[in-house]
Amino acid sequence: MTGRMFERYTETARKAVFYARYEASQFGCPEIETEHILLGILRVDDGLALRLLHSPALADAIRARIEQQPRVRKKISLSTDLPLTQECRRVLAYAAEEAGRVKHQHIGTEHLLLGIFREQSCFGARLLREHGVTLDQLREEAARPTTAGPPQTVSTEPGTAGSYRDLTAAARKGTLEPLIGRERELEQAIQILSRRTRNNPALIGESGVGRSAIVEGLAQRIADGSVPIQLADRQMFSVDATSLIASRRQGRSAEQVEGMFAAFMRSPNPILCVEGLFDLAAAGSGWGAVEAMHVLESHLARGALQCIATGTPSGLQHTIEKAELLARHFAVVEVLAPDEKEAVKVLLGLKQRYEEFHDVVIDDAAIEAAVHASGRFLRYRNLPDRALDLLDEAGARAKVRGGGEPPEVAQALKRIRHLVRAMEHAMATHQFDEARRHSDEERKERENLRLLREKQGLQVATKKTITPEDIEEVIAQRTGAPVAAVRRVLREKEAGELGRITDELAAQTPADCREWIPFLAAYLCHCSDEDAEKLVQAIRAAKRS
């Protein structure tokens, strides 16, 4: 297999073919078969497999069927060059044809799957049909806007200039959080991006209201092809505004910052989201902020770049005052905090992600409790962020209390992870003999793990259910108050007097002392004027001492 043959292949598709070669050698096959390419795709592109098969178990079933095939002979050395069968060569030709059919510059794993399916009599195609995959499904997958390609020239190393996050690639892999609601803001952003002038949206709202979620929701819409045709082939990247300043502080000149932007724009049809751009002026970040804004403004002025910015209302005001030339290129999309009913819908939509991460079940009542309790105890923060924070912490507490694997099992899992990483590194660097050695060791270690689990009779534990009581315990732990006191405050109806007292106290209390505001407000709401005066005198005496 020559390198030139795969010049048009995406990085993921190249890895799939390399792994196909590895699988063929493990089966002792003198040639690479279509089922080996299918195995390679299942190994490197979990997101694609999940979208088509709708279950990791079906992907595992296909893998098991292939691995059950009898070995032709003993394993072949990975240093031996293995040719493609005639079937495989037709598969690759079909893949190139399918990529051209939807006008994609690069050949991805979705096109390889289409190629396998079109080679109808091959074992790989039979397996796909047996598991419910259809030609229409594959064609629909291949028609999705492609964002993958040969390795990017843009650095993705955290903390360096040009450390962009490829949002459309993440969306295609299914790793972004789903966007619940926010249809108005999302449609407004799409409409602005489709304009001829001032076509750069600025998502302006307080921290925690979901500005980044809207950005990720847009990236998902682009990846899904659910956008106007003029946006369908766009590629979205995200960068934190502070990293632009960091690049200047690391001794880079304005020319080097400019070079970083130029490297980014070598990507096809890019949209750059600068998180916190409109807060740079308010933060007083000095000359580095001025340079970064000037470089960005020059690209916007020439129409060479489309940009999405985020920031707070106060940051927007400071930017208009200090960098009016930059601000005039943006059209504002106001992002307000959702009300409690909308916040409950957002948390219900995200519930599965948190359940999977913490290995718990989250009761719907716990979600309502998190939204309500966050309004009492975290009033100085915004929905939905403050409610998600309580839910996340409740899940973490349940996980910690649940304990972990026995030491022997934990060590075996650690060794398996190490061997898998070592094997993947060896495959990537074409050290095939080394990869085979790691693969053999991994199989032995997995067998050892199976025996350990059988010996100890480990059962899958019943998952902990997160309830409203868990939310109350999280708040009690944060504030240092008894759970009973927390419950008393939460039982109070949101009367106007209680809300007014809470807001007044929050306005005059430092952020690190606000945990006790709900308790103090509840006391003041019900105590007599004499008791309130005594409390005031005690606080004044404490300040003087």
CA distance 473 to 476: 5
Q: Are residues 186 and 138 in the same domain?
A: no
CATH number of the domain that residue 73 is part of: 1.10.1780.10
Q: Are residues 438 and 543 in the same domain?
A: no
CA distance 13 to 149: 9
Q: Are residues 305 and 193 in the same domain?
A: yes
Q: Are residues 425 and 508 in the same domain?
A: no
Q: Are residues 90 and 231 in the same domain?
A: no
CA distance 165 to 119: 37
Mapped to the 3 state alphabet, what secondary structure does 349-387 carry?
HHHHHHHHHHCEEECHHHHHHHHHHHHHHCCCCCCCHHH
CATH number of the domain that residue 179 is part of: 3.40.50.300
CA distance 66 to 432: 21
CA distance 452 to 238: 44
Final residue of a domain: which of 334, 366, 382?
334
Q: Are residues 24 and 99 in the same domain?
A: yes
Nearest to 47 by CA among 133, 120, 141: 141
- Domain assignment present for residue 107? The answer is yes
Indicate the number of domains in the chain: 4
The number of residues in the chain equals 545
* Angle, CA 426 vertex, CA 423 and CA 431 arms, to 5°: 130
- Domain assignment present for residue 400? The answer is no
Task: State pTM to two decimals.
Answer: 0.55
Give the Å distances, CA to CA, from 139 to 29, 50, 90, 366: 31, 16, 18, 42
Beta bridge partners of 9: 107
What is the torsion angle, in degrees rounded to the nearest 10, for the CA atoms of residue 520, residue 525, residue 527 and residue 529? 110
Q: Are residues 219 and 313 in the same domain?
A: yes
Q: Would you call 223 helix, strand, or coil by DSSP?
A: helix
pLDDT in tens, the chain (545 residues): 444 556 678 877 888 888 888 778 777 788 888 888 888 888 777 667 666 765 556 666 777 777 776 655 556 554 456 788 888 888 888 888 888 877 777 888 888 988 888 888 888 888 888 877 777 777 777 766 544 443 333 444 333 334 578 888 888 888 888 888 888 999 999 999 998 888 999 999 988 888 989 999 999 988 888 888 888 878 888 887 766 654 444 444 455 555 556 656 666 678 889 888 888 776 554 545 566 667 777 778 877 788 999 988 988 888 888 788 888 889 999 999 888 899 999 999 888 888 888 888 899 999 999 998 888 777 778 888 889 989 998 988 887 776 556 777 778 888 888 887 787 677 666 676 787 788 778 888 888 887 887 776 544 445 788 999 999 888 888 777 777 777 877 776 554 445 555 555 555 555 545 555 555 555 455 555 565 566 556 656 665 55
Give the Å distances, CA to CA, from 448 to 62, 435, 445, 453: 24, 20, 5, 9
Task: Please say whether the beta carbons of 504 and 480 come within 8 A.
Answer: no
Sole residue written with tokens 């108050």 = 481
Final residue of a domain: which of 108, 142, 176?
142
Q: Are residues 415 and 522 in the same domain?
A: no
- Domain assignment present for residue 358? The answer is no
Q: Are residues 281 and 194 in the same domain?
A: yes
Sole residue written with tokens 């109806």 = 493
Domain that holds residue 121: 4-142
Q: Are residues 66 and 19 in the same domain?
A: yes
Q: Which pair of structure tokens corresponds to residue 349? A: 């939509």
Q: Are residues 195 and 285 in the same domain?
A: yes
Q: Are residues 136 and 169 in the same domain?
A: no
